Structure 1
Amino acid sequence: MNRRSIAVAATFIVAGVVTAITYGFDSQSESKIQKIDPFEFHREGAASPEDAAKVLFRGVATGSPKHFVQHLLLGVCDGPIATLNKFAESCHVTEFSHGDERFTFYDMREARNGINHKKPVRVIKTVSFDPEDKQVAALQFEMLGTYYGKEFMSVDVAAEGYDGREYQTRIVVAQVGKQWFAMPRCRSAKSFYAIADAMDAPSHATNQVM
């Protein structure tokens, strides 16, 4: 299995400084800044679309950059800094739903009912993008400046929170070669997620857990 490592040589303040710059939060709130020691991003392809989606789910739902990048689909122009910016953005915009209620990672953290990292992650359904769909066909032009993939799928993933309720979200994954990578929710992935979020009926359902 091919492995690609992105070495990060400096200390990054992932959930605080990057987020504050991007979203204009109060720089005085030092108590909310999470400092992460220097580490290397080890990135590799997953054997299945479900595996890629489950790991990205865990990365965003628990605020873990190491899980976030494990099977991450890199953008055409992405580097270490862009990847960390997308991690911060994903934590702010990815919504985890329970019934009609929707929460981001930060919403759940403040309410102390975040995703329990000790509980398994479950795949609810996986749906392939329809290559005959006009919106899907139009992605071929966007791939030149956003994300490349041979095939795309939408994967619904869920896990239990510390409050005992199950929360789920939808993740887009792409096949590159024989491996699968997960795409984060961010501005450059807007068109891909617009297609995925419009899907209702699954092509096949699973109960895979991690």
Structure 2
Amino acid sequence: MNYYTRTGDQGQTRIIGGHVYDKSHIRISTYGKTDSLNSLIGYTVSLLQEEDLIQEIQEIQQDVFDCGNDLAQINQEREYKVKADRIEWLERLIDQYAEELPALERFIIPGGSAPASLLHMCRTETREVERHIVQLFHEQDSEINNEQVLKYINRLSDYFFVIARLMNHRLNVEDVQYRNSKPVFRQGILRNKMQAKKSKE
């Protein structure tokens, strides 16, 4: 197998459908960002001990690769891989883990345990991918794009936020609260009040 082709030596690349773009083009930059994200996720997985999360996040890596695939075509030359059911799967996981977590009232600073810190890095890199996708869709609005990819990536950042908190919780490490934050998450405040009321009954 030859690992180099020399076809990109002039700063261009060919995407699905045979379209040629400069490597600095927003579409190339965007699906390149999914590769960066996937690399960070892979590194994070290599350091995790929780088998359930490892299998789950490795499945997410497959989805992120699919996101890159869908972003690498402009007129749906092939059937899109990222569909609504993948977003629904992420939402079920988020809801499931949220039940395990203490209520959130204030903004938190990324950190706590080492695994949580890495997962926060995955979250922020996911947000960077999201910003690139939004820019791509705006600049290339005459081209057909898979809107499910943007929804998936948006939900993925929420997932990483939740499991970063989950790792701290399971390791008995407190989330680092932003010291200047006032109570901002109404759902968490109400949940704490309900728990306090039940404890008095």
Query: Which is richer in strand?
Result: 1
TM-score (norm 2): 0.25
* Larger Rg computed on CA atoms: 2
Query: Which is richer in helix?
Result: 2
TM-score (norm 1): 0.24
